[in-house]
């Protein structure tokens, strides 16, 4: 009757032990067992030792959405599945690549597994999957890091506002009845609609764009009206990703070209509607954030006035830089600006005070 309580008690014991050893450092526990409220003790949960097939990938997408709907936000899978899969097999390379693309937009991004014939001697690094898969997966790793300002803000929302980054469409579009049974699309935060490719050989897939929004293709900048199903291109090098008009996404885009770069954060403004985003930052290590030591930088886009306002910075934390540079980029179908075709509009020096940028 109480066996399912075991993971909660188990994780809590480790959490308390880690806090005792390192009183002001955030514990992080990866576990494949979970129970209600376990998120309060710093756990991320993965789905266990699963098969290495497209069928299992489809199941994992649905499982993850159900899991986070229960209130535990940090969920992940073994990218590529755990038991089996031959990196030399072109069919399995496709499974791994598509799973890797999906995993990029999971709350926790990780690859793990015992590859064929099931021992630890078979390589599981990206280069074991051939040049094409390595190139594609490397680009998605870089994309994950480029999205870090956005992702870290979502993590701050978890602590401050009981948020979950991976979201059933019903969470954000409750008035649209067509999304109530959607099992293979999800929001990653407020601004990224993720549509994984879940079948062998597919290079297109149907995508439903929720109503009430205009949607912009993340890769090409092409615009679509919401409330319709489209057939989206899905070449092996990418999965369909869409952004609602009015979104503001901060990115370290320089990481896509140079992982060691310290260039300004790029703030992408997706035109077509008014928008708002609060960039969250803290020291990244301690519990000082729970005592109010963090900063929020508000960004507001006024579509009619074509003005981006960076508001007064709220709060502060130890080690915070007092001066920042933001590179402002407008995204539209006319300019076609996605990750691959991207150029800056304006670079703004920000010292924590309100500034208006006419674009």
Q: Averaged over 140-150, what is the pLDDT? A: 96
Same fold, 3-147 and 248-358: no
Calculate the alpha carbon distances from 248 to 15, 149, 204 in Å. Answer: 35, 11, 27
Beta-bridge partners for 329: 268
Q: Write down the residue that tokens 């007092």 correspond to.
A: 322
Is it the case that residue 334 has pLDDT exceeding 60? no
> At the topology level of CATH, where does 248-358 sit?
Immunoglobulin-like (2.60.40)
User: What pLDDT, on a 0 to 100 scale, did the predictor assign at position 338?
Assistant: 47
The CATH architecture assigned to 166-244 reads: Sandwich (2.60)
User: What pLDDT, on a 0 to 100 scale, did the predictor assign at position 117?
Assistant: 86
Is it the case that residue 344 has pLDDT exceeding 70? no
Calculate the alpha carbon distances from 357 to 130, 149, 222, 349 in Å. Answer: 46, 21, 24, 11
CATH, range 3-147: 3.20.20.80
Is it the case that residue 340 has pLDDT exceeding 70? no
Query: How far from the centroid of its chain's Cα atoms is residue 280's Cα?
Result: 15
CB 154 within 8 A of CB 68: no
> Could you tell me where the DSSP H helices lie in the chain?
6-21, 54-69, 90-103, 131-146, 148-161, 169-172, 254-257
Distance CA 213, CA 211 (A): 6
> 119 pLDDT band (50/70/90 cuts)?
confident
Q: Averaged over 75-88, what is the pLDDT? A: 96
> Could you tell me where the DSSP H helices lie in 44-194?
54-69, 90-103, 131-146, 148-161, 169-172
Is it the case that residue 332 has pLDDT exceeding 80? no
pLDDT tens digits for range 242-282: 999 999 999 997 655 554 545 789 999 999 999 999 999 99
Long-range pairs of 136-140 with CB within 8 A, sequence gap ≥ 24: 136/97, 136/100, 136/101, 136/236, 136/237, 137/96, 137/97, 137/100, 139/237, 139/256, 140/100, 140/101, 140/104
User: What pLDDT, on a 0 to 100 scale, did the predictor assign at position 253?
Assistant: 75
Of 122 and 259, which is predicted with more confidence? Answer: 122
Per-domain residue ranges of the chain: 3-147, 166-244, 248-358
> Could you tell me where the DSSP H helices lie in 114-261?
131-146, 148-161, 169-172, 254-257
């Amino acid at each position: 009757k109480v066996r399912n309580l075991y993971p909660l008690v188990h994780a809590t014991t480790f959490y308390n032990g880690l806090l005792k050893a390192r009183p002001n450092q955030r514990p992080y526990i990866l576990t494949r067992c979970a129970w209600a409220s376990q998120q309060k003790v710093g756990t991320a949960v993965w789905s266990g030792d699963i098969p290495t097939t497209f069928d299992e990938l489809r199941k994992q997408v649905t499982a993850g959405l159900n899991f986070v709907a229960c209130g535990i936000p940090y969920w992940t899978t073994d990218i590529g599945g755990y038991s089996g899969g031959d990196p030399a097999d072109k069919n399995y390379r496709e499974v791994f690549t598509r799973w890797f693309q999906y995993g990029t937009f999971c709350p926790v991004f990780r690859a793990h597994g015992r590859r064929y014939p099931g021992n630890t001697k078979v390589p599981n690094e990206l280069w074991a999957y051939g040049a094409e898969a390595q190139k594609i997966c490397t680009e998605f790793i870089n994309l994950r890091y480029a999205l870090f300002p956005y992702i870290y803000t979502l993590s701050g929302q978890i602590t401050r506002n009981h948020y979950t980054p991976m979201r059933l469409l019903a969470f954000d579009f409750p008035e649209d009845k067509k999304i109530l049974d959607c099992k293979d699309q999800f929001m990653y935060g407020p601004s990224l609609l993720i549509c994984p490719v879940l079948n062998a050989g597919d290079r297109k897939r149907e995508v439903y764009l929720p109503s009430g929004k205009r949607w912009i293709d993340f890769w090409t900048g092409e615009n679509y009206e919401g409330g319709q199903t489209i057939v989206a291109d899905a070449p092996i090098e990418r999965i369909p990703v869409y952004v609602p008009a009015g979104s503001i996404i901060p990115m370290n885009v320089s990481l896509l070209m140079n992982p060691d770069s310290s260039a300004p954060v790029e703030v992408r403004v997706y035109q077509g509607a008014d928008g708002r985003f609060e960039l969250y930052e803290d020291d990244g290590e301690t519990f000082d954030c729970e005592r109010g030591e963090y900063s929020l930088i508000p960004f507001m886009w006024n579509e009619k006035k074509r003005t981006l306002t960076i508001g007064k910075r709220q709060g502060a934390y130890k080690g915070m830089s007092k001066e920042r540079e933001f590179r402002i980029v407008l995204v539209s179908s006319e300019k076609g600006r996605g990750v691959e075709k991207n150029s800056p509009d304006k670079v703004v020096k920000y010292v924590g005070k309100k500034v208006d940028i006419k674009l």
